[in-house]
Structure 1
Amino acid sequence: MELIDIIGFIAGICTATSLLPQLITTLKQKKAQEVSLFMFIVLLMGNALWIWFGVAKSELPIILTNSFSLLLNIIMLVLKYKYKDNE
């Protein structure tokens, strides 16, 4: 693996895991009123496009980290829906 691939993985991991604190807070408080639905829809679209781009370019760091980020965004949207009555 080349250095640029390692940098790509590290950058992607940092970006993808940036959502974890919000996910943890939402799970603990069982509230998601502060979560912007529109923001997560835009993020989902962006992640999906990055995955498509990564597949087209055969770039594993882009594919894997954006797939993980897409999963976290989907989980957050599910929690937003699940806890909508707690708001």
Structure 2
Amino acid sequence: MPISDLIGYLAAALTTCSFVPQALHTFRTRDVTGISLGMYSVFTVGIALWLVYGLALAAWPIVVAPAITLVLAGAILGMKLVYGERRPR
């Protein structure tokens, strides 16, 4: 495997895994006060477009990483929409 592929897989894994702590924290606390609705909305659409791009190229690192990130970012965005008006306890 070329070093460039290895770097791509590592970058995809790290950036995707970076959403896990925020998603877990948000699921546990339902506290979304520090999350920007605008940022997560734009980010989620951007990730969806990366997924479409990866599918068009049949580039699996650009398919798998955005697919996982889209689920995590979408979940956080969904919680922001559901719990955004409530105050944490």
Normalising by the smaller structure, the TM-score range is 0.7 to 0.9
What is the match of residue 50 of structure 2?
Answer: 50
Which runs of 5 or more structure 1 residues have no equivalent in the other structure? none
Contact 1:51 1:66 in 2 (8 A): yes
Deviates more, 1:33-42 or 1:73-82: 73-82
TM-score (norm 2): 0.82
Q: Which ranges of 4 or more aligned residues in structure 1 deviate by more than 4 Å?
A: none
What is the match of residue 86 of structure 2?
Answer: 86
What is the match of residue 67 of structure 1?
Answer: 67
Secondary structure at 2:32's aligned position in 1? coil
Aligned length: 87
Secondary structure at 1:86's aligned position in 2? coil
Which runs of 5 or more structure 2 residues have no equivalent in the other structure? none
Distance 2:40 2:85 in 1: 19
Code of the residue aligned with 1:20 in structure 2: it is V
What is the match of residue 7 of structure 2?
Answer: 7
Is 1:39 paired with 2:73? no
Distance 2:44 2:81 in 1: 16
Q: What is the CA-CA distance between 1:65 and the residue it aligns to?
A: 0.2
TM-score (norm 1): 0.84
